[in-house]
Amino acid sequence: MSIQILQYEFLGPVKLDEWGPPMEKVVFLIFSRLNDSFKIIYVGDCEKTEQKDFFENNPNFQNWIQTTGSKNSLYVAILPMFESNSSARQVVIHKILRAYHPICNTNDIKEKKPDYVIRSKLEDSPKIPKNLSETREKISCPCCGQKMNIDKVLEKTTLLKCTGCGLSDTRLNS
């Protein structure tokens, strides 16, 4: 039996009690089962194990039981990634975390911060790019010749917008 999560095909799910080692270079999902539906409650990975009690020794095991109500409601599915390294498995884990938000992984979900800063208007911005502050009145639209206003000042670029035709342009800040 298999289950597809995102574009990955996981083996299982099977009852956690029925799982047996060995397990090497896999991403695993812990599910709770209610009637005929499965819900991902945890995602993790394993480099290698021969331990029968691998899942019971997981620091989140008690949290899984509290979430599902009993050990009998816990299921596991695995995605074998035999030739993978840890970072390749982490990519899969982060995709699943972002898509499914497993309740027992709440500490592992990190908000991705944008690598840019948006300032609403030039007047609100304390830093006016030197090359644009000197030529602020002189910027004209290449399309219609109307005045170009500064729309947004980003960390490394400034967005300009034409007052006439609405054309947008981008200039590097110096």
pLDDT at residue 133, as a whole number: 52
Q: What local confidence, expressed as pLDDT, does residue 34 receive? A: 84
How is residue 69 written in tokens? Answer: 């109500």
Which pLDDT does position 137 carry in this prediction? 53
Residue 135 has pLDDT above 90, yes or no: no
The residue type of 38 is: F
What is the C-alpha to C-alpha distance for residues 156 and 47, in angstroms, rounded to an integer?
41
What's the pLDDT tens digit per position in 96-125? 999 999 999 877 655 556 666 666 555 444
What pLDDT does 118 receive? 67
- The letter for the amino acid at 11 is L
Instruction: Tell me what pLDDT residue 172 has.
Output: 85
pLDDT for 112 equals 59
**Does the pLDDT value for residue 89 go beyond 90?**
yes
Q: Is 89 helix (H, G, I), strand (E, B) or coil?
A: helix
Average confidence (pLDDT) over 140-160: 85
